[in-house]
């Protein structure tokens, strides 16, 4: 190695470290990056590797610190600003994130990575017009970069322009048959007939030995959806079981016991809380929170309410869920939170203001904010304390249909790991029902249950009852949400753009001969 020029040596090391990073060996990346930086403190690439590896391990504050220190040394280095901006985006520090991307673009307005990352931020805060404009700008600069095409196609799906998204994806796939994410995205918006060319293409890709396990899983979900469209439920089931089995292997260290412990902790913290003593926090805005199990009708309910002229739907921003998940596992959280519950002082106000700051960044003049994050059902006591006058809408659906829809669909990696195992899924449903019973007893008249089956059966009456609970006047647009409804980011991206329909009621019957989960749910009901 002594005979290799320094430049070539560092280039070689960067390639090696990059391979380690892409393979998920973040501890090794951290170790090697530190060693190189000790002798070569001006190598910006390794500051990025170091920070991003810590970020991937969940050490966001350390990643932020590394990048800030590096920027002091190299204030004009765009890659550092971009990575810091994307770190702030993950942390939902939107204002800081935007500042970083703007600084990077001031240095070079044609930096395609800065443009795409800025577009990602605009998408996250629901500014879809500017998000799409930025993606389009990047695409015009270079129409061969996969992340540009994928993000652009995804943005058009979110705003309901499916044909445009389909066109981009089909053109891209012709030259990039091995891009499994593109296949998965196309499958989401495509309706498959028998002998479909794209289905054949995906099956052909699955025969390749070069596919990683995660790529196989992604394609399995896509192929499963194609067979479901073709009403071949046995094959559809075969493929989404394969997908879930891979996910189980990837998350082999996961245990449903962690969820059980969490729910028990929640009940312990809030079990003796007197919610009546909390004074109203004066605000110019009111809140509606839509909660429930995933795939229980939460997106549909969001679209109905968000179509009202007085309501601003922010979708699934996961603000409260992220805050609570980051803090509740802290060993000192129970005692810390009891102080929140007893003091009712600046601590509560600071959390309240933090939530407002993130919401306000979405820039709306409407007075009612609609937060649709299903897993917020865990934090209803916390919501009651922060926003006493908020409305809670709890979505319910036939548990067999809900379980099937959760199990057969792909969710963001690490979001709901319990969905990949039938036993874990049933157990989660059990503890969810128990926690909701707890909240109903602790917070009477605070929670409104809306049932998916009743909504499909008698839509106008059910929508009117929903609006009355939310103290909203009747508007016809709420019934015609499919025509004017807001963008959709969830798995329900196509379903929730249709008028209310009944075909998803008792959907489990098509799969009852191929899955054991339905018997397990019957057992659950009889306990």
Q: What is the CATH number of the domain that holds 486?
A: 3.40.50.300
- In a domain? residue 150: no
Burial label, 236 (beta-carbon count in 10 A; 0-12, 13-18, 19+)? buried
- In a domain? residue 8: no
- In a domain? residue 344: no
Tens of pLDDT, residue by residue over 349-402, are 666 666 666 666 556 778 888 999 999 999 998 888 888 888 999 999 999 999
Write down the pLDDT at residue 246.
94
Q: For Cα atoms 314, 500, 494, give the angle at the middle one, nearest 5 degrees.
A: 60
- In a domain? residue 124: no
- In a domain? residue 265: yes
Q: Which two tokens stand for residue 172?
A: 């891209």
- In a domain? residue 287: yes
Our count of domains for the chain comes to: 1
- In a domain? residue 49: no
- In a domain? residue 315: yes
Query: What residues contact residue 336 under an 8 Å CB cut-off, 6+ apart?
Result: 327, 330
3-class DSSP assignment, residue 450? strand
Q: What is the C-alpha separation between 90 and 86, in angstroms, rounded?
A: 6
Q: For Cα atoms 297, 302, 305, give the angle at the middle one, nearest 5 degrees.
A: 125
Q: What is the pLDDT along the chain (527 residues), one digit of tens a residue?
A: 455 555 677 888 889 999 988 888 899 999 999 999 999 999 999 999 999 999 988 888 899 999 999 999 999 999 999 999 999 998 888 889 999 999 999 999 999 999 999 999 999 888 889 999 999 999 999 988 999 999 999 999 988 899 999 999 999 999 999 999 999 999 999 999 999 999 999 999 999 888 889 899 999 999 999 999 999 999 999 999 999 999 999 888 899 999 999 899 889 888 877 777 665 555 556 889 999 999 999 999 999 999 999 998 888 877 777 777 766 665 555 565 665 555 555 666 666 666 666 666 556 778 888 999 999 999 998 888 888 888 999 999 999 999 999 999 988 756 789 999 999 999 999 999 999 999 999 998 899 999 999 999 999 999 999 999 999 999 999 988 877 656 656 655 555 556 566 777 889 999 999 998 998 898 776 55
Write down the pLDDT at residue 267.
92
Q: Which domain holds residue 291?
A: 257-323+365-526
């Amino acid at each position: 190695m002594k005979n290799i020029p320094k430049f070539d040596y560092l280039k070689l090391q960067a390639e090696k470290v990059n391979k380690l990073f892409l393979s998920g060996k973040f501890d090794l990346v951290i170790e090697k990056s530190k060693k190189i930086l000790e002798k070569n403190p001006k190598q910006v690439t390794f500051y990025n590797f170091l920070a991003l590896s810590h970020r991937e391990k969940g050490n966001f504050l350390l990643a932020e610190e590394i990048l800030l220190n590096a920027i002091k040394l190299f204030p004009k280095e765009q890659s550092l600003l971009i990575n810091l901006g994307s770190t702030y985006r993950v942390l939902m520090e939107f204002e800081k994130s935007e500042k970083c991307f703007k600084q990077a673009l001031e240095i070079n307005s044609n930096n395609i990575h800065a443009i795409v990352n800025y577009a990602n931020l605009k998408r996250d805060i629901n500014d879809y017009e500017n998000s799409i404009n930025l993606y389009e700008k990047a695409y015009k600069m270079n129409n061969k970069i996969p992340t540009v095409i994928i993000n652009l196609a995804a943005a058009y799906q979110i705003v309901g322009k499916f044909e445009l998204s389909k066109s981009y994806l089909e053109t891209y796939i012709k030259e990039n048959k091995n891009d499994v994410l593109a296949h998965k995205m196309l499958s989401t918006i495509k309706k498959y007939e028998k002998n479909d060319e794209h289905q054949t293409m995906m099956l052909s890709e699955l025969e390749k030995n070069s596919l990683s396990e995660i790529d196989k899983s992604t394609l399995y979900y896509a192929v499963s959806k194609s067979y479901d469209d073709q009403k071949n439920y046995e094959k559809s089931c075969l493929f989404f079981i394969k997908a879930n089995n891979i996910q189980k292997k990837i998350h082999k260290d996961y245990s449903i016991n962690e969820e059980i412990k969490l729910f028990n902790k929640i009940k312990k913290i809030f079990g003796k809380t007197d919610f009546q003593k909390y004074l109203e926090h004066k605000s110019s805005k009111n809140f509606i929170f839509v909660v429930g199990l995933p795939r229980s009708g939460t997106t549909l309910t969001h679209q109905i309410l968000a179509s009202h002229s007085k309501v601003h739907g922010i979708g699934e921003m996961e603000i409260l869920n992220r805050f609570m998940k980051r803090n509740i596992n802290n060993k000192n959280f129970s005692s810390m939170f009891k102080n929140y519950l007893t003091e009712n002082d600046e601590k509560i106000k600071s959390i309240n203001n933090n939530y407002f700051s993130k919401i306000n960044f979405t820039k709306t003049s409407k007075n009612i904010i609609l937060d649709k994050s299903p897993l917020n059902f865990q934090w209803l006591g916390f919501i009651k304390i922060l926003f006493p006058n908020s409305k809670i809408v709890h979505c319910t659906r036939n548990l067999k249909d809900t379980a099937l829809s959760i199990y057969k669909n792909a969710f963001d990696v690490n979001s709901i790991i319990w969905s990949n195992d039938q036993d874990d899924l049933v157990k989660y449903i059990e503890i969810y029902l128990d926690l909701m019973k707890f909240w109903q007893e602790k917070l009477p008249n605070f929670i409104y249950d809306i049932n998916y089956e009743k909504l499909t059966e008698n839509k106008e009456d059910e929508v009117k009852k929903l609006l009355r609970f939310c103290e909203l006047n009747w508007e016809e647009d709420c019934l015609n949400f499919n025509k004017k409804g807001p963008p959709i980011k969830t798995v329900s991206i196509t379903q929730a753009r249709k008028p209310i329909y009944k075909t998803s009621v008792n959907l489990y019957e098509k799969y009852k001969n191929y899955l054991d989960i339905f018997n397990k749910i019957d057992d659950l009901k009889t306990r």
